Amino acid sequence: MMNAFIACLAACLLHEVCSASTPVSWCYHRPSCSDAVWSIIAEKDCDGTQQSPIDIVTADVQANTNLTAFTFTGYNDRATLTEIENTGRTIKVTFGDQKMYVEGGDLPGLFNSTQFHLHWGNGSATPGSEHAVNGKRYPMELHIMNEAGNGSDPVLSVLGIFIEASNDTGKPESWKTLTSYLAQIASAGDKTHVSDKLTMDDLLPGVDRTKYYRYLGSLTTPSCDEGVIWTIFKDSVKVSQDLIDLFSTTVYINQTTNSPLMTNTFRAVQPIYGRIVTSQVAGPKTTGLIKPTSGTKTTGFVGNPTTGLITPRSVIKTSLTKLTSTATNPSLALNFPLLSAVLLYCILPS
Ligand SMILES: [Zn+2]
The tens digit of pLDDT for each residue in 224-266 reads 999 999 999 999 999 999 999 999 999 999 999 899 999 999 9
Q: Look at 7 and 143; give whichever has higher pLDDT.
A: 143
Q: How far is the CA of 160 from the centre of ligand 1 (A)?
A: 8
Q: How far is the CA of 320 from the centre of ligand 1 (A)?
A: 35
Contacts of 96 (CB under 8 A, 6+ apart): 79, 80, 81, 82
Cβ atoms of residues 271 and 52 within 8 Å:
no
| This model's pTM is above 0.85 | no
Q: How far is the CA of 270 from the centre of ligand 1 (A)?
A: 14
Nearest Cα neighbor of 51 from 300, 297, 304, 263 is: 297
Q: How far is the CA of 324 from the centre of ligand 1 (A)?
A: 39
Q: How far is the CA of 326 from the centre of ligand 1 (A)?
A: 39
Cβ atoms of residues 87 and 55 within 8 Å:
no
Q: How far is the CA of 143 from the centre of ligand 1 (A)?
A: 5
Radius of gyration, CA atoms only, the chain: 23
Q: How far is the CA of 316 from the centre of ligand 1 (A)?
A: 30
Q: How far is the CA of 173 from the centre of ligand 1 (A)?
A: 23
Cβ atoms of residues 40 and 24 within 8 Å:
no
Q: How far is the CA of 85 from the centre of ligand 1 (A)?
A: 14
Q: How far is the CA of 230 from the centre of ligand 1 (A)?
A: 11
Mean pLDDT over the full length of the chain: 81
Give the 3-state secondary structure percentages of the chain, helix then strand then coil, rounded to 5.
25, 25, 50
Cβ atoms of residues 307 and 28 within 8 Å:
no
Q: How far is the CA of 222 from the centre of ligand 1 (A)?
A: 11
Cβ atoms of residues 263 and 122 within 8 Å:
yes
Q: How far is the CA of 302 from the centre of ligand 1 (A)?
A: 20
**Interior CA angle at 43 toward 132 and 108, to 5°?**
55
Angstrom distance (rounded) from CA 141 to CA 135: 15
Q: Kindly indicate the confidence band of residue 149, based on its pLDDT and cuts at 50, 70 and 90.
A: confident
Output DSSP code: residue 236: -
Q: How far is the CA of 294 from the centre of ligand 1 (A)?
A: 20
Nearest Cα neighbor of 59 from 134, 129, 131 is: 134
Q: Where are the domains of the chain?
A: 1-10+24-43+311-350, 44-295
pLDDT (tens digit per residue) in 166-223: 999 999 999 999 999 999 999 999 999 998 789 999 999 999 999 999 999 999 999 9
CATH superfamily of this structure's domain 44-295: Alpha carbonic anhydrase (3.10.200.10)
Angstrom distance (rounded) from CA 196 to CA 95: 14
Q: How far is the CA of 237 from the centre of ligand 1 (A)?
A: 16
Q: How far is the CA of 345 from the centre of ligand 1 (A)?
A: 33
Contacts of 204 (CB under 8 A, 6+ apart): 142, 161, 237
Nearest Cα neighbor of 225 from 273, 277, 278, 154 is: 154
In this predicted structure, the answer to whether residue 116 has a pLDDT above a threshold of 50 is yes
pLDDT (tens digit per residue) in 259-310: 999 999 999 999 999 999 999 999 986 554 444 444 333 332 222 222 222 2
Nearest Cα neighbor of 123 from 139, 138, 135, 137 is: 139
Angstrom distance (rounded) from CA 91 to CA 333: 43
Angstrom distance (rounded) from CA 186 to CA 179: 11
Segment 34-50 mean pLDDT? 90
Q: How far is the CA of 159 from the centre of ligand 1 (A)?
A: 9
Q: How far is the CA of 188 from the centre of ligand 1 (A)?
A: 17
Q: How far is the CA of 65 from the centre of ligand 1 (A)?
A: 27
